[in-house]
Homo-oligomer: A and B are copies of this chain.
């Protein structure tokens, strides 16, 4: 039974607590903390977990085997570094940290520690359909990949959504996904800018990202954050011998009033509900087996940050921006083979 402490008991934190408390096997939430002490007390009280005044206290709690960080992005670096210092596994919701420099400091701390402790919350790698896509690619049945077409559509975004967040918050999922899918780094990023959607106000929405993979695969990604009809994620890989795409997944089809209607998920929670469950279950199983986490690493978090920064610069400049990474430490080499 892995005993987990959760830092940050807002919407996502509470969802992960629900998951670990009522859905998954082999885990117990033993401690919580939040910047809003009242919320932390309420949540902790409900599940019988210790309530700590600070993240540092929670990390130090001997009843905490592993840490889950769901707090505000700017606090991630501090809690992840503290967990590494304490030698405790830490699952950090994306982003790993808000700057690539901070991400690199975490990578360096983990390398100094000597083995993997950090996992970053990129849940697409745990989605059944994406896994089938990767499985089909890796099986060789479509030959070597050449192109990938993606779309990432949100029905709408909150009022505080900033222009750059189409890249740093939305496209970053595709950035992580293609690194995992093709097992190689992104070499350069471009951002093309079409007409602006009036529903997006001042946002530059939609965007068309072009990601060049190190091996020459070209990925185009539509990012739309005001598509209105629902949440929609597409992916199709073009290989030398054929193609493979995310398929159609409609639990039901209704025919009435002149048309056949297929439901569309309302948001990412609905679309990736099971992926989150699998993500946490596999993390818990890896820790329970005494091993290191196998999911997205701090290197992945760092590489995503660098590519995402390149995307933001490409959006500003209109040009092609290379993605320049630090040398990859040996600790992470197996994960993204050249």
Contacts and interface: CB of A to CB of B under 8 A. Distances in A.
Contacts of A243: 227, 229, 254-256
B256 A245 contact: no
B222 A247 contact: no
B242 A228 contact: yes
Nearest to A243: B255
A246 B240 contact: no
B249 A222 contact: no
Contacts of A157: none
A255 B230 contact: yes
A256 B238 contact: no
Interface residues of A, number: 75
A152 to B, nearest CB: 12
Given A23-B25, A195-B215, A229 B256 contact: yes
Contacts of A274: 274
A216 interface: yes
A274 B273 CA distance: 13
A232 B246 contact: no
A241 B259 contact: no
Most buried by B among A128, A149, A229: A229
Interface string A109-136: 0000000000000000000110011001
Interface string A1-43: 0000000000000000000111111110000000000000000
Contacts of A230: 255, 258-259
B147 A194 contact: yes
Nearest to A131: B251
Nearest to A198: B240
A129 B252 contact: yes
A167 interface: no
A324 interface: no
A210 interface: yes
Interface string A278-315: 00010001000000000000000000000000000000
21 contacts: A24-B24, A133-B252, A146-B194, A146-B197, A147-B194, A149-B222, A195-B217, A227-B242, A227-B243, A228-B256, A228-B257, A229-B259, A232-B255, A247-B248, A247-B252, A248-B248, A248-B249, A250-B260, A255-B264, A259-B261, A262-B262
